[in-house]
């Protein structure tokens, strides 16, 4: 395993905000070019993801799960090992 994790930012924006235009209309914090850059390169800075998750939590009244937007070898370990049921912490970097 190479440990590479990817986050599907395009699908996240489409699913959670209804696309780029609704996101920019509802939350004009980011310049349009920046949001389009996220989609073009397929990633976004962690602090922007944290801000988006905070917006979603405030809007929905509950945290938003992002596990189904993650892919890569390490995600297999995360999904198969649950500390509450196995009694140990998953080794996500192994």
SS3 category, 93:
coil
Could you tell me if residue 92 is inside a domain?
no
Total number of domains in the chain: 1
Under the banding of pLDDT at 50, 70 and 90, the label for residue 58 is very high
The model carries a pTM of: 0.72
Cβ-contact 4, 76 below 8 angstroms: no
Q: How many angstroms separate the first and last alpha carbons of the chain?
A: 8
Helix (H) or strand (E) holding 87: none
Q: Is the pLDDT of residue 83 over 60?
A: no
Q: Which residue has the higher pLDDT, 91 or 5?
A: 5
Only one residue has tokens 């912490």, namely 89
Could you tell me if residue 94 is inside a domain?
no
Could you tell me if residue 93 is inside a domain?
no
Could you tell me if residue 1 is inside a domain?
no
Could you tell me if residue 21 is inside a domain?
yes
Could you tell me if residue 38 is inside a domain?
yes
pLDDT tens-place string over residues 2-15: 667 888 999 999 99
Structural domain boundaries enclosing 50? 6-86
């Amino acid at each position: 395993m190479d440990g590479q994790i990817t986050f599907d930012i395009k699908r996240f924006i489409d699913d959670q905000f209804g696309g780029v235009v609704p996101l920019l209309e509802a939350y004009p914090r980011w310049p349009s070019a920046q949001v389009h850059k996220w989609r073009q390169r397929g990633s976004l800075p962690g602090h922007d993801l944290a801000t988006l998750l905070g917006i979603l939590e405030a809007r929905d009244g509950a945290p938003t799960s992002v596990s189904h937007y993650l892919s890569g070898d390490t995600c297999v370990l995360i999904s198969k090992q649950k500390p509450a049921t196995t009694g140990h912490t998953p080794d996500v970097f192994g």
